[in-house]
Amino acid sequence: MTKKICSWTLLIAALLFFEKPASADYKLDPDRLREEFSRAGIKTGKTVTVHGIPCLEAELPIGKSVADLCRTAPLLREEFPSRAKSTGYFNHVNFKLERGEKGEVFVTEANQLLIPLDTTIFPVIFPEKEKRFAGWKNTLVIDRKAQWGALYEGEDYIACFPAATGAPGRETPAMKGIVQGKFREYWSEKHQIAMSWVVQFSAEICLYGGLMEGPRTTGGSVRGFPEHVKEIYECVEAGKTHFEIR
C-alpha cells in the first residue's frame, strides 16, 4: 500500500482503490454551482478552504440527503454518485442519510455542508512524515480535533479517512499503545450493537465501521465508513501496529 494508491482521489470514491473516469472533471466552478443551487432553492454560503481543499458552503434542508442535494445541481449530477459520496465523506455523513430533527434515529443533524470543489487535492490534515514512527511497521492515528484518521507506514503518511469520535459527555479519551485485536464482526455488550471491521485499542475503545451520522456522534469509540475501515483493518496487525488517539 502506498500513498499513490491511497490518494484522496481514490478515497473519496467509496473504496480506496476506485479509479475515476478519464473524462471526469473533478474541479468545479463555484459560481456555476452556486447558481445551480440557487435555481433549486438551496441556500449557499462562502467558498472556504478546509484541509487544503476549496469547498462551497451549502445548506442541507430537513428531509433531504446529500444525494438529494447533489441531484439538484447538474454539475454534481454529471458524476453521480461519486460526487455525492465524496461530499458525504468530507462531511462525515452517509450520503443517503436524510437531515432530521434532534433525537431522531437514522438521520443526520448536519445542516451546513461543505461541497469539495477540487477532489484532485490530497487533504492536508496530517504531517507527510512522522519521524517518531520510523521504527514501526505501521501506525494508526486518530485526530479528535480534526475528526480524521490516518495510517502511516513507517514514518510515511499513506492514507486518511473521516472518523467520528465520542459525543459530548461520552468523549473518546486520548491514548496510545499497540492494537490489541481485530474482529470482522463483534457484538458490543456495552453499546448493544453489532460492529464490523473492529480494530481493538483497549477493552472499552475501538475503531469500527458503521453508519456515519456526522462527527462526534459515538458512545466513545471511533467510527468510520465501513468501506474505509475495512481497508485499514486489512493493513493493521494485532500485537504489532501502534496507534495514537490524540
Three-state secondary structure call for residue 52:
coil
Distance CA 44, CA 66 (A): 14
Domains, the chain, ranges and CATH?
Answer: 8-116 (no CATH), 131-245 (2.40.440.10)
Per-residue pLDDT reduced to its tens digit, 102-136: 888 899 999 999 999 998 887 889 999 999 999 99
pLDDT tens-digit map of 52-82: 999 999 999 999 999 999 999 999 998 898 8
CB neighbour list of residue 100: distance below 8 Å, 6 or more residues apart: 62, 63, 107, 108, 109
**Backbone phi, psi, residue 182, to 5°:** -135, 140
Report the percentage of the chain scoring pLDDT > 70.
89
Selected residue with higher pLDDT from 141 and 121: 141
Q: Cell match 476549496: residue?
A: 54
Give the three-state DSSP class for 90: helix
- 38's CB contacts (< 8 A; 6+ apart) are 44
Return the SS3 of 34.
Answer: helix
**Which band of pLDDT confidence, cut at 50, 70 and 90, is reported for residue 25?**
low
CA distance 111 to 120: 26
Average pLDDT, the chain: 88
Give the whole-angstrom CA distance, residue 28 versus residue 25: 7
Please say whether the beta carbons of 216 and 166 come within 8 A.
yes
The mean pLDDT of 225-240, rounded to a whole number, is 95
Q: Tell me: the pLDDT tens digits for 27-57?
A: 899 999 999 999 999 999 999 999 999 999 9
